[in-house]
Structure 1
Amino acid sequence: MLSAIGLDEAQEATYRTLVAVGAAEMSDLAHRLGSTEPETERALRRLERQGLAAQSSSDTQRWVAAPPGVALGALLTQQRHELEQAELAAVLLAEEYRAEASEPSVHDLVEIVTGASAVAHRFAQLQLGAVEEVCALVTGHPVAVTGYDNAAEERATARGVTYRVVIEREVLTLPRGVVELTAALGRDEQVRVVDRVPTKLVVADRALAMVPLTGRDTEPAALVVHASGLLESLMGLFEAVWREARPVRLGLEGQPGAGTAVEVPDCGPDGMDLQILSLLLAGMTDASVAKQLEVGLRTVQRRVKGLMEEAGVTTRLQLGWHAYERGWVGRT
């Protein structure tokens, strides 16, 4: 737990033991740790440099623990300061990079990653660097990364990153297909299904994308695309597939199809949804719509969120366009 402030396991164990007894002879401490005296001394010297332990003034073989509240607090404050300095340096470097690359060459907009381990590592980096949203098209033929070993996805969703994923129907027939789908839905990911997706694809924050370059019979390779017209086209491809895909959930226990994937029928908005849409497109606020229809504000907001999920959009402006395109509301 104290590795964040630079202590290894032996040093942390030494400090914890010393804190438990308050003070101890070197030999006694080594015995308690099940270690040798030279190893224990090395750990104590490290703790001494960190201000976590000190030799007794009356007995050089006796060591005393520094109060954790004071000593650890000082180290944590120092760590925070160093992190702030690193963040500032990162911001300055990013600004310098943008200034130098105001007109990036074509070679700066794409990069090629070769080899299964390199592709998997870059795939994880892309997700771990996401701040808001990750969009993905998933085929039934994983090469370098599978859903089962994608720990980066779990860490990203835990940080609040949203996921929109379209999977091929074949994915659900794989040995761990339903298990992975259950895990994704448990992380509140939005998952839809189609017969086939045109290509594997992952896009982070609409700023960085990754697509495969090779098939199953050759060494895995991928193209990483930075902000550019090509990236916009890839994002447009995802949105087109997302709109045509059907939401998917798992059958509930005690019901037919329990534990299997069930596609949610595209029933379209009901009468209340259409009323809410019409009033919003007329320029009314959520609160005004709720008052007009004599329903709760949360009801309006919940239904609008449901409509956005059904339409596969992320903004209300997109929802309005989608409503006109699907004929949910008429143009005036």
Structure 2
Amino acid sequence: MLAAIGLDVRQEAAYRALVTVGAAELSDLARRLALPEADTERALRRLEQRGLAAQSSARAGRWVAAPPGVALGALLIQQRHELEQAELASALLTEEYRAEADEPAAHDLVEVVTGASAVAHRFHQLQLGATSEVCALVTGKPVAVTGMENESEERVAMRGVAYRVVVERDVLSLPSGITELTAALSRDEQCRVVDRVPTKLVVADASLAMVPLSGQAAEPAALVVHASGLLESLTGLFEAVWREAMPLRLGASGVREEDGQGPDAIDLEVLSLLLAGLTDASVAKQLDLGLRTVQRRVKGLMELTGVSTRLQLGWHAYERGWVARAPR
């Protein structure tokens, strides 16, 4: 918890122990921490430098803790000041960057990022920098970054940034596919599914995009595309895939029912997965239902809509608003 003010795990443990006992001999503190005395002393020296501990003037070799309210308060004030200075520097650098970017050189419009770690870092950085919307095409075979499983997405969504995501149908068959999609939908993200997406892609605020480089390279690589005709093409590609994709509705939230006779939440889950292309058996497995239960629910939906084929059921589901290509 105190890593934000520069303490590692051992230093924090030493300070907590000192706060608990008020004062302690080096040997006693080392036993309490289950650390060698040399490591314990190094941790105490670091605390001393930070003003969190001091050697007792009354007894040599005895250490006392500085009052947390005073010592930690001073460090937090210093940390806030440093953050304010960093924010100011960031704003100034941003202005300089924008001034230089008014007429960018052609070679500045595309960055090449190489290596799994660098690609993953840039991917998360792109999301964290978004202020309005993130659009993504997700494949079933991620390389450097897993499909929808990254903490950046949750943090960005909590700031009110909208997400529109199109996933390949293979994602629904992954062990954690339904779980991750359900979590995304619970954050009010819009999710759709298609048989195949042309490429993995993420676009932030329609001003920056990232797309993987395919080839025989030994390590993953990706292009980061800035505002340009290429970015407009990538944004257009996403919108084209989005228009043709089928919305995923894994719950009843936001789906209207007609005169109280509409499908219940489980019916909507079954219908959504069937329209996404899953078989009855796959739907039963994903929702932990019996195969006959799924088939009975489908038959009930067909009776409700007065149709005789599943193709007609899909058309009526769209017309009745149980599924929609755009939010209603």
TM-score (norm 2): 0.73
Mapped to 2, the partners of 1:125 and 1:156 lie a distance apart of 11
Q: Superposition pairs for residues 1-332 of structure 1, below 5 Å?
A: 1-147=1-147, 149-214=149-214, 220-250=220-250, 255=267, 261=273, 263=275, 265-267=317-319, 309-310=326-327
| Distance apart, 1:218 and its partner CA | 7.5
Mapped to 2, the partners of 1:71 and 1:56 lie a distance apart of 17
Asked if the contact 1:203/1:209 (under 8 Å) is kept, the reply is yes
Moved more, 254-263 or 100-109: 254-263
| Distance apart, 1:34 and its partner CA | 2.1
2:63 alignment partner, SS class: strand
| Distance apart, 1:6 and its partner CA | 0.7
Aligned-residue identity in percent: 71
2:327 alignment partner, SS class: helix
Mapped to 2, the partners of 1:168 and 1:235 lie a distance apart of 18
Mapped to 2, the partners of 1:202 and 1:131 lie a distance apart of 14
| Distance apart, 1:247 and its partner CA | 1.5
| Distance apart, 1:92 and its partner CA | 1.1
Mapped to 2, the partners of 1:38 and 1:196 lie a distance apart of 59
Cα root mean square deviation, aligned: 3.2
| Distance apart, 1:248 and its partner CA | 0.6
1:135 alignment partner, SS class: strand
Structure 1 unaligned spans of 5+: 271-305, 312-332
1:11 alignment partner, SS class: helix
Asked if the contact 2:119/2:144 (under 8 Å) is kept, the reply is yes
Structure 2 unaligned spans of 5+: 252-263, 276-313
Distance 1:104 1:203, change over 3 A: same
Mapped to 1, the partners of 2:30 and 2:63 lie a distance apart of 12
| Distance apart, 1:192 and its partner CA | 1.2
1:250 alignment partner, SS class: coil
Mapped to 1, the partners of 2:25 and 2:141 lie a distance apart of 61
Task: Number of aligned residue pairs: give it.
Answer: 276
Mapped to 1, the partners of 2:223 and 2:93 lie a distance apart of 25
| Distance apart, 1:122 and its partner CA | 2.3
Mapped to 1, the partners of 2:37 and 2:271 lie a distance apart of 57
Distance 1:92 1:31, change over 3 A: same
2:224 alignment partner, SS class: strand
Mapped to 1, the partners of 2:181 and 2:115 lie a distance apart of 27
Moved more, 49-58 or 175-184: 175-184
